[in-house]
Structure 1
Amino acid sequence: MPMDRQPRRSAGATSQVWPSGGRHLWPSGGASAEQSHARGHLVYAAGGVLTVHTEHATWIVPANRVAWTPAGFTHRHRAHGETDMRIVFLPPSLARLVPDRPAVFQASGLAREVLLALTRPRDHDGAAPGHNRSARTRLLRVLVDELREAPEQPLHLPEPRDDRLRAVARRLSENPADNATLAELGRTVGAGARTLSRLFRDELGMTFYEWRTQLRIHHALVLLADGHDTVRTAHACGWANPSGFIAAFTAVVGTTPGRYRAARLPAT
């Protein structure tokens, strides 16, 4: 299993790290190098938006979600907007209770408060103020129990392997507002719409429409984190009118774009 590797921090990032977790304050666009850890860890964006990248997929982590990365998974983080990133490592006895693959969960109010309590500024001996070892163990158990009750969130974007799908993904990633049909896209990559449709289902486990909507929601979360308003974000991500964007965003994220922007103030 890969050992922990200390990532290279982007200029402008400030970090406080201890054996059980840490806190990183990222400027917009800040990113880590690829890394892996001997223990699985939870990541929470108390403010801003994070993306977690692996070779297989990208997970988006807005401020009302928690991302889980199991031990040994090579990954990197990127911040969108000024981001307050909290990290909590889980001991193996608790890690076995959550999925053995990366996942994103909705953060309940209790889970959020526990994450913040576990990642508050450290005192001189490295322990959270008022938290002895047994208290921390109890808090970790509460946190894992909350995550086990929370549904996994559809906030991952699988990475295609087929060269034709990669070409389609690259084009739409560069311009999420591109409304080309699957047949039109197929003509540019040398594949029919039926072939591409089958590849989306077989490789990525979703339809082309579902994948493109997920891609657009990812871009929308980034734009909102950077301060863009709902109307501008809707048009930049391919929706002809804001109402359609609001409906799609709410269905995936669980809140409207306006409420999401209002809730993005960093926590303490």
Structure 2
Amino acid sequence: MSQIGQDAPPVWRIGTNSFDVSDRVEWEKHVHEARHELLWGSRGTLTAETDDGYFAVPGALGLWIPAGVAHRVVAAAGTAFRCTFVEAEIAPVAPSTTAVVIPEVVRALLDRLEAAPYLAPAARLHAEELALGLLEPVEVATVDLPIPSDERTRRVAEAILADPSDDRTIEDWGRHVGASARNLSRLFVAETGMSFAGWRTRARMRRAIEWLAADHTVVSVSRRAGYATPSAFVQAFRREIGRTPGEYASARSRSARISA
């Protein structure tokens, strides 16, 4: 399997790698200095983290990552997606990491460019310019979630991200990692700028966006995110994201219709 952390072969100015993973795969933070990157999915849950935020990439959308931007990517088990590299000399679709609508015609053009690398230069240039020109930036919800570096707080953070429904108290977590509740609380504030409770809420929203992007129901997501009722989850989601889960899903659906 190709490595997402490696640039595509230099086939003209645009090249695409295809990925179909049976198990969860994580590509640690890396940078492509000479190429922009377009991540676009077709099945499953693909997430990316940059300094601009944490993005869940639904099948109807793609994620534009400009050249030189460090990013970490995670593909859930059963995810299929594409990674299109664009030479950095080409003007970026957006100056920062941005979700983009990918119309069906763009998907077809990118597939054609990959399947026929020896197109006549003029035809290929026209197809490349058309594909990039039809990409449309769109606003999506993102969650900024600093990950603590201290071993004890990081263990807690990773456990909560793995299972946001885990409702252990700060005292419980302190006993689990060998730290007092007071010290653990102090570390969370010092390393993330948030209280433990605030960080856990943000972590729940981060996973919730991921699950909503994969078309799980609000009821299912509220339970998996650790909320006793869907209404409690909806209220928390609105406070953190600025819209309800239903409004978030509707925005994604509109983007899907635009891309059809």
TM-score normalised by the chain length of structure 1 = 0.64
Report the CA distance between 1:260 and its aligned residue. Answer: 3.6
2:37 aligns with: 41
- Structure 2: distance between partners of 1:241 and 1:124: 52
Report the CA distance between 1:240 and its aligned residue. Answer: 0.8
3-state DSSP class of the match of 1:116? helix
Find the partner of 1:79 among 50, 71, 76.
76
2:231 aligns with: 243
Matched AA of 2:112? P
Whether the 8 Å CA contact 1:23–1:119 is kept in 2: the answer is no
Matched AA of 1:140? L
Note closer, same or farther for the CA distance 1:206–1:81 as it changes in structure 2 (3 Å cut): farther
- Structure 2: distance between partners of 1:45 and 1:86: 9
- Structure 1: distance between partners of 2:43 and 2:130: 25
How do 1:143-222 residues align onto structure 2 when only pairs under 5 Å count? 143=135, 147=137, 153-189=141-177, 190-193=179-182, 195-222=183-210
3-state DSSP class of the match of 2:112? coil
Gaps of 5+ in 1: 10-14
Matched AA of 1:26? D
The reply to whether residue 252 of structure 1 matches residue 241 of structure 2 is yes
- Structure 2: distance between partners of 1:153 and 1:28: 27
3-state DSSP class of the match of 1:211? helix
TM-score normalised by the chain length of structure 2 = 0.65
Report the CA distance between 1:177 and its aligned residue. Answer: 0.9
- Structure 2: distance between partners of 1:177 and 1:192: 20
Report the CA distance between 1:241 and its aligned residue. Answer: 0.4
Matched AA of 1:59? Y
- Structure 1: distance between partners of 2:143 and 2:123: 33
- Structure 2: distance between partners of 1:62 and 1:26: 15
Whether the 8 Å CA contact 1:28–1:82 is kept in 2: the answer is yes
3-state DSSP class of the match of 2:91? helix
Count the aligned residue pairs: 245
Higher mean alpha-carbon deviation, 170-179 vs 219-228, is at: 219-228
1:121 aligns with: 112
Report the CA distance between 1:126 and its aligned residue. Answer: 5.1
Whether the 8 Å CA contact 1:234–1:240 is kept in 2: the answer is yes
Whether the 8 Å CA contact 1:86–1:115 is kept in 2: the answer is no
3-state DSSP class of the match of 2:76? strand
Report the CA distance between 1:220 and its aligned residue. Answer: 3.3
Matched AA of 2:227? W
3-state DSSP class of the match of 2:25? coil
Gaps of 5+ in 2: none
The reply to whether residue 66 of structure 1 matches residue 57 of structure 2 is no
Find the partner of 1:21 among 15, 21, 25.
15
Can you list the C-alpha shifts for 1:128-176, whole angstroms capped at 9, x where unaligned? 9x96425634653664xx54xx567433543321122112213323431
3-state DSSP class of the match of 1:22? strand
Note closer, same or farther for the CA distance 1:48–1:160 as it changes in structure 2 (3 Å cut): same
3-state DSSP class of the match of 2:81? strand
Can you list the C-alpha shifts for 1:220-263, whole angstroms capped at 9, x where unaligned? 35555677543233222201101222344465396636974995
Matched AA of 2:45? V
2:102 aligns with: 112
Work out the percentage of aligned pairs sharing the same amino acid: 25
